[in-house]
Chains A and B, each alone.
Chain A
Amino acid sequence: MRERAWSAYLYLGPALVFMGVFIAYPMLRSLYFSFTAYNYVYDAAPRWVGLGTYAAVLRDPVFQIALANQIKFGIPFFAIAFALSLLVAIALTQVIRGRTTLQLAIALPMIIPPSLGAVVFLWLLDPGFGIVNIAWQALVRTRPPEWFLSPSLALYVMVPIFVWEELAFPMVIFLVGLQSISQSLYDAAKVDGATFWGEVRYVTVPALRPTMTVVAVYLITQSLKMFDLPYVLTQGGPGNATFTLYYYTWTRAFRFFEMGTAAAAAYLTAILIVGFSLATAGALRERGE
Chain B
Amino acid sequence: MNTERTARRMPRRTFVKAAAGAGLAVAGGIGFPRAGEAQARTLRMGAESWVYKKFNLQQWGTAFGKAHGVGLKFETTPDNDISPELLTWSRGRTEWDVIVVGLPLFVAPLVGRNLLVDMTGFVKGVGEDKFIPTFLKDVRFAQGSGWYYPMVPFLGEVIGVQVNMKMYRAAGLVDRAGNPRPIPAWDLGEMVDYFRKLAAVSPKGYGLGLDWDNEFGLHNYLAPLVGARGSIYSKSDPKMLDFESPDAVKILTFYRSLQKANLLFGDIAPTASGVALSNFKAGLIPAHATTVSRAVESAQNLGAENVSWIYWPGAERHGSITYTHNAYIPKVSPNQALAEQFIREQVLSLPAQVWTFNNYGKLPSQKEAYSHVKWFQREAEATLRVVSNSTLEPKYKGIAQLGELFTSETQKVILQGTDPVQALANIRNGITTRQIDLTLLGYNG
Give chain B residues whose Cβ lies under 8 Å from the Cβ of A129.
278-279, 282, 284
CA–CA, A7 to B13, complex, Å? Answer: 11
| Residues in chain A near residue B269, CB distance under 8 A | 148-149, 154, 234-235, 237-238, 241-242
Is B268 close to A, CB under 8 A? yes
List the one stretch of A87-95, A251-259, A274-282 in contact with chain B: A251-259
- Taking CB as reference atom, which chain A residue is nearest B411? A238
Closest to A242 in B: B269
Residue among A40, A148, A254, A255 with max Cβ neighbours from chain B (10 Å): A255
| B33 within 8 A of partner (CB) | no
- Given A41-B113, A128-B278, A234-B269, do A239 and B9 touch, yes or no (CB 8 Å)? no
Q: Assuming the A-B contacts A128-B278, A143-B262, A234-B269, are A251 and B404 also in contact, with contact meaning beta carbons closer than 8 angstroms in the complex?
A: yes
Which of A151, A234, A251 is in CB contact (< 8 Å) with B412?
A151
- CB within 8 Å for A254 and B83 given contacts A122-B272, A151-B412: yes
Residue of A nearest to B82 (CB): A41
A4 to B6 alpha-carbon distance, docked (Å)? 8
Closest B residue to A129 using CB positions: B282
Give A17's nearest chain B residue, CB to CB. B23
Residue from A3, A151, A233 within 8 A of B271 (CB atoms): A233
Question: With an 8 A cutoff between CB atoms, is B273 at the interface?
Answer: yes
A241 to B407, CA, bound (A): 12
A238-B411, A254-B81 known, 11 other contacts, Cβ within 8 Å: A11-B15, A40-B87, A42-B397, A127-B265, A149-B269, A151-B412, A235-B213, A237-B270, A239-B412, A255-B400, A256-B401
Whether the pair B271, A234 counts as a contact (CB closer than 8 A) is yes
Is the pair B284, A128 in contact by a Cβ cutoff of 8 Å? yes
Encoded as 1 (CB less than 8 Å from any A CB) or 0, chain B from 130 to 170 comes to 00000000000000000000000000000000000000000
- The closest CB in chain A to the CB of B437 belongs to A42
* A276-B123 Cα distance, complex, nearest whole Å: 58
- Within 93-124 of A, Cβ neighbours of B (below 8 Å) are at 118-119, 122-123
Shortest C-beta distance, B264 to chain A (Å), equals 9
A146 to B399, CA, bound (A): 29
Chain B: interface residue total (CB-CB under 8 A): 45
Count of A-B contacts with CB under 8 A? 113
Residue of A nearest to B416 (CB): A151
Interface pair A237/B86, CB less than 8 Å apart = no
Question: A126 near B411 (CB under 8 angstroms)?
Answer: no
B415 at interface, CB cutoff 8 A: yes
In the assembled complex, the Cα of A240 lies from the Cα of B409 at a distance in Å of 9
Q: State A285–B156 Cα separation when bound (angstroms).
A: 63
Tell me if B248 counts as interface (CB < 8 A to partner A). no
- Considering only CB atoms, which chain A residue lies closest to B2 in the complex? A4
Interface residues of A in 4-34 (CB under 8 A from B): 4, 7, 10-11, 13-14
Q: Are B109 and A123 in contact (CB under 8 A)?
A: no
Chain B: CB-nearest residue to A128? B279
In the complex, per-residue mask of A231-269: 1 if CB is within 8 Å of any chain B CB, else 0:
011111111111000000001001111000000000000
Q: Which 7 A-B pairs rank lowest in CB-CB distance, beginning with the nearest?
A: A128-B279, A238-B269, A237-B269, A41-B109, A238-B411, A235-B270, A255-B400
CB 8 Å contact bits of A146-165 with B (1 = contact, 0 = none):
00111100100000000000
**Residue from the list B12, B273, B400, B415 in contact with A122, Cβ < 8 A:** B273
Which A residues lie within 8 Å of B262 (CB)? 143
**Which residues of chain A come closer than 8 Å to B9, judged between CB atoms?**
4, 7
User: Is B285 in contact with A237, judged by CB distance below 8 angstroms?
Assistant: no
21 A–B contacts from the bound complex (CB under 8 Å): A13-B19, A40-B86, A40-B87, A62-B404, A122-B271, A122-B275, A126-B275, A127-B275, A129-B282, A143-B205, A149-B269, A149-B415, A150-B415, A234-B271, A237-B213, A237-B268, A237-B407, A237-B411, A238-B269, A239-B409, A240-B408
Which chain B residues lie closer than 8 Å to A7 at the CB level? Answer: 9, 12, 15
Q: How far is the CA of A62 from the CA of B262 in the complex (A)?
A: 29
Question: Considering only CB atoms, which chain B residue lies closest to A255 in the complex?
Answer: B400
Q: Known: A151-B412, A151-B416, A237-B407. Contact between A126 and B112, CB under 8 A?
A: no
Q: Mark B282-296, 1 if CB is under 8 A from A, else 0.
A: 101100000000000
Residues of A within 8 A of B53 (CB): none
- Asked if B282 contacts A128 (CB within 8 A), the reply is yes
Which of chain A's residues has its CB closest to B403's CB? Answer: A255
| Residues on A with beta carbons closer than 8 Å to the beta carbon of B265 | 127-128
Interchain CB contact under 8 A, A239 and B5 = no
Chain A residues with CB under 8 Å of B401's CB are: 256
In-complex Cβ contact of A255 among B22, B272, B404, B416 (8 A): B404
Q: Are A239 and B408 closer than 8 Å at their CB atoms?
A: yes
In the complex, whether B372 has a CB less than 8 A from a CB of chain A is no
Residues of chain B within 8 A (CB-CB) of A127 are 204, 265, 275, 279
Is the beta-carbon distance between B5 and A119 smaller than 8 angstroms?
Answer: no
Report the separation of the CA atoms of residues A60 and B434 in the bound assembly, to the nearest whole angstrom.
Answer: 8
Q: Is the CB of A239 within 8 A of B416?
A: yes
Closest to B78 in A: A254
**Separation of A40 and B205 alpha carbons in the complex (Å):** 48
Across-interface contacts of A143 in B (CB, < 8 A): 205, 262
- Distance in angstroms from B427 CB to nearest chain A CB is 13
Q: A232 near B272 (CB under 8 angstroms)?
A: yes
